[in-house]
Amino acid sequence: MRADGQGWSALAEIGRQLQILASAHTGEGAFSVHALRSAMPDVLTLTELINEFLRAKARAGRSERYRRALRYSLVKFAHGRGRLAVTEITVHEIESWLDKMNLQPRTLKGYLGDVRTLFNFGVRRNYLPRNPAAGVESPVCDDAPPSIHAPEQARAVLEFARAYDSDICRALAVRYFAGLRTSEVERIGEESLMPDFVEVSPV
């Protein structure tokens, strides 16, 4: 725990309860085991919250694809801050994380949605008093109509991609023929590719 105002206040309360405990051993004063335990804060780290969150989603029967998408974005968020207490994560921490990723607004909005869902879970379980991600402004997505490649352009792109990297070619083929966005292609796996359709997990 960092020695900020809230941390020192909690330590002082623990010290007071320990004094009561010492008095109880000498027959002086009153002592409550429950009071001592409740005074000791449970310091839950971001990594621990993410693990508990994902286990809860699994117990609830959420699909593996959905949980994999959550894990992907939350692992990115936890990088470099996984050992922080969840109560230490601030609006500015989340905004800084989003600002450092060079991604399209729609993808950033999906990541922010996953982080909000994580902290809502933490609030419901009383691990933190409020959701820090609720104060982050959602990225504005461009509503301009997408450009459309002519068949000749699509053929040229796919032929170049096939010669350059077969995996890139497959991803582009899914985008062209299934109408998926880049952010959606990033969330699919081999099991998502069905004979007649592609199943994409929600953000």
DSSP characters over 94-122: HHHHHHHS---HHHHHHHHHHHHHHHHHH
Q: Which two tokens stand for residue 193?
A: 């590719």
| pLDDT score at 76 | 93
| pLDDT score at 131 | 95
| pLDDT score at 151 | 83
Tell me the fold of 46-135.
Answer: DNA polymerase; domain 1 (1.10.150)
Q: Indicate the domain borders of the chain.
A: 5-39, 46-135, 151-192
Q: CA 11, 17, 23, 28 torsion: positive or negative?
A: positive
| pLDDT score at 27 | 44
List the pLDDT tens digit at each of the 203 positions of the chain. Answer: 444 445 444 555 555 554 544 444 444 444 343 433 333 346 799 999 999 999 999 999 988 878 888 999 999 999 999 999 999 999 999 999 999 988 888 888 889 999 999 999 999 999 999 999 999 998 887 665 666 778 888 888 888 888 888 777 777 777 777 766 666 666 666 666 666 666 665 55
Task: Tell me the CB-side half-sphere exposure of residue 53, using CA atoms within 13 A.
Answer: 27
Q: Scanning the structure block, which residue is given the tokens 């691990």?
A: 127
| pLDDT score at 193 | 65
Question: In angstroms, how far is the first alpha carbon of the chain from the final one?
Answer: 33
| pLDDT score at 146 | 61
What's the rounded Cα separation, in Å, for the pair 105 and 140? Answer: 6
Residue from 88, 80, 78 nearest 47 by CA: 78
Residue from 203, 183, 20 nearest 104 by CA: 183
Residue from 86, 147, 95 nearest 118 by CA: 86
Residue 193, beta-bridge partner list: 198
